[in-house]
Amino acid sequence: MVTGRLQGYRDRLLLLGRAAGLSTFALATTASSACYTCTQHDDCARLDELNATRDAGVASSNASAGTAGAASELAKNVQAAKLWNGTSCPTPEEFRAIVQLKFPSRYADATLTEKSLADGQCCYHVEESDCGEGGRPFLVYGQPRIATLAGIEARPTKHPALAQAWLADALMEHASVAAFARLSLQLLALGAPADLVRDSQLASLDELRHADFCFEMASRHAGSRLRPGPLPVQGALDDLSLAGLVESNLLEGCIGETLAAEQLRRRADLVGDPQLGAALLSIAEDETRHAALAFRILAWCREAAPALAREVVTRVLAEERPSARAARASDHDADGAYVAERGDSQTRREGDEQTWQHVLSPLLSALSAPAGSPHSVRRSAKPPPCAESQGETHASDRTRTFLAPTMIMGTPAATSTPPTTQAT
């Protein structure tokens, strides 16, 4: 099993590396480095900022109207925010509620612990929980956005942890549709070749199917129909520069999609239901194709602005690779059905670290190498060998089921013309 897993990592390394324009020599000789773990950081705010945010949020809530689910979440945050006395640092939960009055998706899947009062600011340590297993994350100013849940009360269920996990997957896949919609607009704004725009559009249809499947599974475990509510998209198109495209595509596509695909493959190995395993593998192949698209886009940007692309990759590597830390135990680790389908928190985190070590680290280290080094990106007027589009094979397969055979890469795309200006 270990040998097969390592061979799978090597196969994905070669596929994604060629999509990014890396030479075989670069892929064979680039060393692995630190493992990926989910992010942790400190957030600080002054008392006057927190008071102003709370007052504005409470005032706007009185005039807000929306779905029952959104109104319920808002009411909970308003109630928690009002508990704060306004003169001392709020508790972590009060801080979360105050911030979510302004940014509803902030800290949606994170643990906050009070750290200190430093320089007149209330500081909190933020540790993201286990990486999501959905598709491409929808990030706005570095924070993931997901839809609220439509106001439907789920009945008691035998396996609430599985219902909650499938719902988290569903909301992530749903948000991926928005991420690809934005990607298409970014590509159009920068004059990207038609094959990249087309494949971005087709990928959003994949994510719609993934979301439908995950919502169906969540509803089955919850005992009632679950569906998404409004998705906050404000600010999503504030940055249409080339630098913005490189960064969002790197985080959401190159890293996010690669991790998601490998997580799904590991889950498929765990489940005892052959049909569910086949469905997960089918989604994993979609996510791998989306990751290859992200590396193709990165190669196109690299042709136009190699120094800019290298700087962004280097910066993201520094920010996204905190030192390894012990896995935080999950409340779901005691749920036998949950662990049987998804593994425990330690196993999941170790799996992400292996994906980083064997696939992402070699790729991104090569992409951040100085120009002219043996590991630098190959420059070519033609698209890289594996930078193919899905062509008519994918276009005619939009309604395929999750149990359909794995699709293979299609015909080579037309020569891509990079943007002629370097946006900053």
Say if residues 127 and 92 touch (Cβ distance below 8 Å): no
CA distance 316 to 297: 16
Can you say how many angstroms the Cα of residue 153 is from the centroid of all Cα atoms in its chain?
27
CA distance 174 to 422: 32
What is the total residue count of the chain? 424
CA distance 85 to 117: 16
Tell me 379's DSSP state: P
Q: Residue 389's pLDDT is what?
A: 35
pLDDT-based confidence at residue 410 (cuts at 50, 70, 90):
very low
Say if residues 132 and 123 touch (Cβ distance below 8 Å): no
Burial 314-332 (b: 16+ CB within 10 A, else e): bebbeebbeeeeebeebeb
**SS3 letters across 213-260:** HHHHHHHHHHCCCCCECCCCCCCCCCCCCHHHHHHHHHHHHHHHHHHH
Tell me 343's DSSP state: -
Tell me 373's DSSP state: S
User: Strand 121-128 vs strand 40-46: parallel, antiparallel, or unpaired?
Assistant: antiparallel
Exposure of 408 by Cβ count < 10 A (0-12 exposed, 13-18 middle, 19+ buried)? exposed
pLDDT-based confidence at residue 362 (cuts at 50, 70, 90):
confident
Q: What confidence tens digit (pLDDT) does each residue in 107-165 have?
A: 765 677 776 676 678 888 876 544 445 678 888 877 888 888 875 655 656 678 888 88
CA distance 334 to 249: 36
Q: Residue 287's pLDDT is what?
A: 95
Handedness of CA 57, 58, 64, 66 (dihedral sign): positive
Q: What percent of the chain has pLDDT over 70?
A: 68
The tokens of 316 are what? 């993201």
Q: How far is CA 383 from CA 102, 194, 195, 295, in A?
A: 44, 13, 11, 12
CA distance 301 to 291: 15
Strand order in the sheet with 40-46: 40-46, 121-128, 110-118
Q: What confidence tens digit (pLDDT) does each residue in 44-90 have?
A: 888 888 898 898 888 877 655 444 445 667 888 889 899 999 888 89
Q: Residue 118's pLDDT is what?
A: 66
What angle is formed at CA 345 by the lines to CA 95 and CA 223, rounded to 5 degrees? 80
Closest C-alpha among 241, 256, 247, 316 to residue 290: 256
Question: Which carries the bigger pLDDT value, residue 136 or residue 246?
Answer: 246
Closest C-alpha among 132, 113, 134 to residue 124: 113
Say if residues 333 and 349 touch (Cβ distance below 8 Å): no
pLDDT of residue 327 exceeding 50, the answer is no
Q: How far is CA 386 from CA 24, 63, 289, 389, in A?
A: 12, 53, 11, 9
Coil, strand or helix at 411: coil
Q: How far is CA 96 from CA 125, 210, 369, in A?
A: 12, 30, 39
pLDDT of residue 423 exceeding 60, the answer is no
Claim: this prediction has a pTM higher than 0.75: no
Q: Residue 419's pLDDT is what?
A: 57
